[in-house]
Structure 1
Amino acid sequence: MATPNEPPRLPKFFEGSLPQEHSTKWAKCWEDKWTPWDRGGPSMALHDLLKENPNGVIPLPSETSPKTCLVPGCGRGYDVVLLSLFGYDVYGLDVSSQALSAAKENAEKALTEGLYETEGGKRGAINWTCQDFFAEDWKDVQGTFDLIFDYTFFCALPPPLRPAWAKKMKTLLSPGGRLVCLEFPSDKKPSEPGPPWAAPPGEYLAYLSNPGAQPRTDEYGGVIAEEMESLAPGGLKRLVHIKPGRTHASGMQDGRVQDYISVWAHANE
């Protein structure tokens, strides 16, 4: 049981907040230096996916073909650093300026002390941008991205924002680009409060297959699988859907991986 001086659990802290108020609540967590979701390091599942690159599904950067990448809700920027070491020019986006200050410190420490190995031919550039993911126009960021990585961002959004999330992802993804989602928590029930909200594979499939549309949901906001629509011409198609060999402890249960990792592309490719 929490002590009187202990911050409330995330679901309790967000209870009763309107979707449009959540950005302010996340920023408040950073102001209070309360980040119980922090993973403490980069995603092992993402590292392994890029390293193994099954069937060459991921467009990796090279000296003659640079690639850009976006990590929305980047927090302390662990995955931003990891992706830069694979050669991507990465943008870490967060709504909290305190989060990005922590990310800059973390990145400087990681790169100065050589905490991670450079996987690509050379390290890509790192950029930080403080703004709302859903804003119509972003300052200091233009164009689309060759790779987008979503981990604990989709599940941090209340279900009413998921159609807008999918539409924005489609808009931000370059032709030939890939959206990589580390699906968490895949085993949580929609009836359980969030954040994190339940994020089983069917949720990603329903929203990304028809970006911007609202699929039929139950009383808790969970997608009704039997009534899911097929892939729309303007949607994103799933190219890869696997359980990673390694993931964070929060995505494990009784020693077994519960997370999934999925790779998405524009339906017309």
Structure 2
Amino acid sequence: MDLSENFWDNKYKLNDTRWDLGIISPPIKAYIDQLTNKNLKILIPGGGNSHEAEYLHNNGFTNVYVIDLSETALIHLKSRVPSFPREHIIHGDFFNIDMVFDLIIEQTFFCAINPNLRNAYAEKAFEILCKHGKIVGLLFNVPLYDTQPPFGGSKEEYLEYFTPYFNIKVLDACYNSHQTRHGRELFIKFEKHHTSI
């Protein structure tokens, strides 16, 4: 299974991005709209075209970072949002990032990585979040593909990965999904355990 940098970059070069809503995902927008601390250090892993990052930036959040394997996707973000800080746009691998964040926004990244890396995702997120740091966003609640992304999953499966590292604050069927994903998403809010593992 090829999920290399070239694989993802070609998807953006060919505009083969069916997972991209073209706008910020409504549940994530609703969550962001109730945040009051504009200095939160926020990471969007596998941000792609980064509509969430664009929305955060345009609403005064000053500490937003995007990391993606695809340079083409990051170029799209730079051209669309020229005022987005260049040093906050990282061409690289989430699993290699060496910074600390208050919040990770999860939007179609978890379903794009090799399913063998799901436990490593939970472990890495724990590692790079500060005390009381959170993962917030969306996970698919349907079985999808086995041999190519997006890879689906279930609430029970996700609990296995994240419970060792996070307090599960919210893991519920999403009521305000985009119409193309209605009934297929879980909204998540996981807070890092206070004690290290």
TM-score band, normalised by the shorter chain? 0.7 to 0.9
Q: Which has the higher contact order (CA 8 A, sep 6+)?
A: 2
Is 1:99 aligned to 2:81, yes or no? no
Change in CA separation of 1:151 and 1:199 when aligned onto 2, cut-off 3 Å: farther
The alignment status of 1:188 with 2:143, answered yes or no, reads: yes
Q: Are the counterparts in 1 of residues 131 and 194 from structure 2 also a CA contact under 8 Å?
A: no
- How far has the Cα of 1:77 moved from its partner? 1.2
In 2, are the aligned partners of 1:69 and 1:88 still within 8 Å (CA)? no
Counterpart position of 2:155: 201
- 2:95 aligns with 134
AA aligned to 2:55 is L
Normalised TM-score (structure 1)? 0.64
- Matched with 1:163 is 119
| C-alpha distance in 2 between matches for 1:166 and 1:144 | 15
Question: Between the two proteins, what is the percent identity of the paired residues?
Answer: 25
Structure 1 residue runs of 5 or longer lacking an equivalent are 1-16, 54-59, 112-123, 211-234
Query: Considering only aligned residues, what root-mean-square deviation do their CA atoms show, in Å?
Result: 2.4
Change over 3 Å in CA distance of 1:88–1:183 after alignment to 2: farther
The SS at the match of 2:95 is: coil
1:30 aligns with 2:3: no
Moved over 6 A (4+): none
Partner of 1:90: 64
Which of 1 and 2 has greater Rg?
A: 1
Residue type of the alignment partner of 2:93: D
More strand by share: 2
Residue number in structure 2 paired with 1:120: none
**What 5-or-longer segments of structure 2 have no aligned partner?**
none
Tell me the amino acid that sits aligned with residue 81 of structure 1: E
Report the number of matched residues. 193
Alpha-carbon distance in 2 for matches of 1:82, 1:32: 25
**Deviation of the 1:199 alpha carbon:** 2.4
TM-score where L is the length of structure 2? 0.86
Give the AA of the match of 1:168. K
Q: CA deviation at 1:132?
A: 1.2
